[in-house]
Amino acid sequence: MKLGRRTLKYKDYYEILGVNKSASQDEIKKAFRTLAKKHHPDVNPNNKKSEEKFKDFSEAYEVLGDAERRKKYDDLENGENFQNAHDFDPAQAGYDNVRHEDGATSENDFSDFFNAFFGGRPTNMDDIFGRGTSRSGRVRSFAQDGADSEAEISITLKEAFDGNSKKVSIRSSKSEKTISFKIPAGIKSGEKIKLSGLGEAGINGGKNGDLIIKVNFSKDEKFKINGLDLETTLDLFPWDAGLGTEATVDTIDGKIVVKTPAGIQTGGKIRVAGKGYKDMHGRRGYLYIRVRIVNPKVLSEELKEEYLKIKNRIKM
């Protein structure tokens, strides 16, 4: 076996994974998962280009996914004698301890650059996919979990309060399917429902992804919602507002009778406990009834005369 030196080409692992140098370890892991799933040979059989890309992604993650190796790589990149993306002699760059063994068989199929500075057996990628690469570094078949699918659905406030069943049609790259599911009573607008195993299919025995459904509320004509509180409007004629009355009010779960205090003004509120929206534990908020004073759409001559008398009395 002959020991010798030769030039190496610098590998920009951050660029290969498409992440910033300030990326967190979780961001690096996520980037690798995304790229590796897209280019894995099980997904692209007999595609040499994808296989080479997969090797590049794997090599980059071998370094950046390990805190110690990443620091060593960053220190190497920041060295004054090192020029990015150029061939270089490790010895001339100040790395006298780096040697290549011509004719030797590496324990992986990674680049000379990797083997020179980070050589050795690849780390286990079980935490990424479930199985890893072989000791030789060649990709072997392993299980891949399916991707999560996302969908949105618009429902009424009443449907959310009651917890109705709904259906949603999901299109994937291979098929279209209709899913029936139960809306949890008390769900809030913007919250998500996870349906396990109804996302994209896994590969080579990997588990299916989940279906994530975001719930939005459609505009409600009767109620405004604020947390667990609801607000509705009650129209009163001037004499009812002035004298006080009993009025029937629609709530989200039936009708109630409320007493309005004499002299209540437009914009005044009546608060009713336990008649608001509810959470998924059954706790309920308040119902606020906002008063709006209105006139009859058609005023009779007699009513006009009464209004005129009231107006003149007020002026006196």
User: Per-residue pLDDT for the chain (316 aa), expressed as one digit of tens each?
Assistant: 344 456 677 788 999 999 999 999 989 988 888 888 788 777 777 888 888 888 888 889 989 988 888 988 888 776 544 555 456 666 555 555 554 444 434 455 688 778 777 765 455 444 444 444 443 444 444 567 778 888 899 999 999 999 989 888 877 656 678 889 999 999 999 999 999 988 888 777 778 889 999 999 999 999 999 999 999 999 999 999 999 999 999 999 999 999 999 999 999 999 999 999 999 999 999 999 999 999 998 888 988 888 888 888 876 5
Architecture of domain 149-217: Sandwich (2.60)
Domain with CATH 2.60.260.20 in the chain: 149-217, 224-315
User: Which helix (H) or strand (E) element contains residue 61?
Assistant: helix 48-64
Q: What is the pLDDT of residue 115?
A: 78
**CATH hierarchy code of domain 224-315:** 2.60.260.20
Cα–Cα distances (Å) from 163 to 157, 187, 292, 302, in that order, read 10, 8, 32, 51
50-101 per-position pLDDT tens digit:
888 888 888 899 899 888 889 888 887 765 445 554 566 665 555 555 544 4
Q: State the span(s) of the chain assigned CATH 1.10.287.110.
A: 2-129
pLDDT of residue 117: 76
Q: In CATH, which superfamily holds the domain spanning 2-129?
A: DnaJ domain (1.10.287.110)
Distance CA 268, CA 271 (A): 10
| CA nearest to 160, candidates 249, 238, 253 | 253
Task: Strands of the chain (E only): list them.
Answer: 2-4, 8-9, 87-88, 100-102, 149-155, 165-171, 176-182, 192-195, 211-217, 224-226, 229-236, 245-251, 254-260, 269-272, 287-293
3-state secondary structure of 37: helix
pTM score over 0.75? no
Q: How far apart are CA 199 and CA 16, in angstroms?
A: 28
pLDDT for 263 equals: 94
